[in-house]
Amino acid sequence: MQGWQIQGRAGARRGTGARCWRRLAAMAGVVAASLGVAAPPVAAPTHEVYVWQRVWNEPLRGALGDSRDLFSGVRVLVAQVSGDGRWQATQADPAALTGDARRRVAVVRFDGAGQAPVAESLLAELRPLLARWQSGAAPFAAVEIDYDCGTARLADYAERLRTLRGGLPAGLALSVTALPAWLDAGELDGVLDAVDESVLQVHAVQRPAAGLFDAASAERWARAFARRTTRPFRLALPAYGTRVYFDDAGQPRAVESEARLEDRPALPGEELAAEPREVLSLLARLRADPPAHWQGVAWFRLPLPGDRRAWTLAALREVIAGTLPRARFEVRLTPQANGAHDLALANGGTVAAPAPALRVATACNAHDAVGDWIAAGDATRLRFLPKPGFRLPPGRTSPVGWLRCAQAPVVTIEDSQAKDVQ
């Protein structure tokens, strides 16, 4: 679900071209459909959230509690299965969700470059895990398999899902993560018929040049998917950003998202982010004209304090309520003992946004930029410019530089860039 992965990194989406990019980096109506009658649309789509973190700590437990009123369900990453079949459990803890009335889905992520799930071995791992959550008073209602195979493997995948479905405990639903790349494959019908519900991922599924998310494409895929399924489905929508690293040939080679890569490559990179305006526009169109069988959204991912690339929980609340989050930039000047002033830019809004350029309206005889900033111009036409791709997260302050002027400096955000950015 996380998105693109290169050379086995977690969260892969695979294939040539767009697949290489994806490889980096996380429902009423069988009878109605048979009669040619569309299933009634949902009046109010509900919102669930992916808990994709491997480590369950106090900030995560706090975020789960703070979001109880916002998300009707949680989709918990309980394990990843590597390309060679190794089961790698996360620290997902039933105690953190005991007493939580939300619907719980256990997600197992398979490396798309590896083999399809083997029902017998998967069930052997799942049964004790499901029992542990049951005994912890936090039982799962469904299991979701996240396996981004190529279309040539869909028929085999469908057969394995049918076997898995037959081995799951009674009353436990089976879900699958689906990709837009599967929409033109006839074998998709077998996959969807083998499960009780599905989630269509519409982020991190195209080439990097197309960005992390495109609302028009997502809507087209959602409506096409609704014509293929007779079962309930959700859309996996992004509430995060990521950094993609490219090699000398311009091919993506690594992705960094919620955690810094330990072996961060010395390669050029580009920051990509899901813009709230784009996501909000999609939701507005889907609410006005809901696709058949569409139940709502599964957000990726649960935001934690300090997650510099995820939307804040406050921003997610605003988008779900139909309001556009804003970045609110403020210039800060701090006088120093030597007559200079330190210059900084703060974002007091709820969402990250590209930092604006700053203009100094006072003549200054000395200055310098630091960190993510560049000084341009001369003493009487001085500007501080953010480096390409620099986005200022909400609640953060970025040191810009310093300046020494004949009088108290006046620094403004350039008129072309509003202080409140949508």
Cα 154 to Cα 188: distance, rounded to the nearest angstrom = 7
Q: Mean pLDDT throughout 255-283?
A: 78
Q: Which of 72, 127, 151, 80 is nearest to 104 (CA)?
A: 72
Q: What is the pLDDT of residues 338-349, one digit of tens each?
A: 889 999 999 999
Instruction: Tell me whether residue 125 is exposed, middle or buried, using C-beta atoms within 10 angstroms of its C-beta: 0 to 12, 13 to 18, 19 or more.
Output: middle
Q: What is the DSSP letter of 242?
A: E
Q: How confident is the model at residue 20 (pLDDT cuts 50, 70, 90)?
A: very low
Cα 412 → chain centroid: 34
pLDDT attached to residue 17: 40
pLDDT attached to residue 337: 86
Cα 126 → chain centroid: 26
Q: How confident is the model at residue 32 (pLDDT cuts 50, 70, 90)?
A: very low
Cα 33 to Cα 38: distance, rounded to the nearest angstrom = 6
Cα 374 → chain centroid: 30
Strand partners, 391: 354
Contact 397, 345 (CB under 8 A): yes
Q: How confident is the model at residue 265 (pLDDT cuts 50, 70, 90)?
A: low
Cα 403 to Cα 343: distance, rounded to the nearest angstrom = 8
Q: Mean pLDDT throughout 43-64?
A: 94
Is the pLDDT score of 219 beyond 70? yes
Predicted model pTM? 0.84
Cα 49 to Cα 302: distance, rounded to the nearest angstrom = 6
pLDDT attached to residue 24: 46
Spell out the alpha helix ranges (H) of 251-349. 276-288, 313-320
Contact 418, 375 (CB under 8 A): no
Contact 349, 99 (CB under 8 A): no
Place of tokens 């879900």: 175
Q: What is the pLDDT of residues 157-208, one digit of tens each?
A: 999 999 999 999 999 999 999 999 999 999 999 999 999 999 999 999 988 8
Q: What is the pLDDT of residues 104-158, one digit of tens each?
A: 999 999 998 888 899 999 999 999 999 999 999 999 999 999 999 999 999 999 9
Spell out the alpha helix ranges (H) of 194-327. 215-228, 276-288, 313-320
pLDDT attached to residue 15: 37
Q: Which of 83, 77, 74, 65 is nearest to 14 (CA)?
A: 83
Cα 371 to Cα 382: distance, rounded to the nearest angstrom = 17
Cα 166 to Cα 226: distance, rounded to the nearest angstrom = 25
Residue type, 121: S
pLDDT attached to residue 39: 44
Phi, psi for 145 (deg, rounded to 5): -100, 125
Strand order in the sheet with 241-246: 252-256, 241-246, 269-273
pLDDT attached to residue 31: 26
Q: Which of 329, 337, 330, 331 is nearest to 404 (CA)?
A: 337
Answer left, alpha or beta for residue 17, where phi above 0 means left and psi between -120 and 50 means alpha.
left
Cα 334 to Cα 341: distance, rounded to the nearest angstrom = 5
Q: Which of 99, 104, 110 is nearest to 173 (CA)?
A: 104
What percent of the chain has a predicted confidence (pLDDT) above 90? 71
